[in-house]
Amino acid sequence: MKVENVQVYGLEESIRRAKFPMSVDVDSLNHDVTQGIITLGKSSVGSGHDNFLNGIVIQFDLTFSNKAWVEAERYHFFDFVSSQSTMHRITQFKLKDQCNKYVDSRIIDIVQEKIDEYNRLKELDKESHSDSRTELLKELYLEILYNIPSGFELTAGMTTNYRQLKTIYHQRKTHRLPEWREFCAWIETLPKFKEICLGE
How many C-beta neighbours within 10 Å does residue 133 have?
A: 14
pLDDT at 181 over 80: yes
CA distances from 192 to 33, 37, 56, 84, 130 (A): 9, 11, 11, 31, 61
Tell me the pLDDT of the chain averaged across its residues.
94
Per-residue pLDDT reduced to its tens digit, 92-140 = 999 999 999 999 999 999 999 999 999 999 888 777 766 677 888 999 9
Predicted TM-score (pTM) of the model is: 0.91
Residue 125's pLDDT is 75
Distance of alpha carbon 148 from alpha carbon 150, whole angstroms: 7
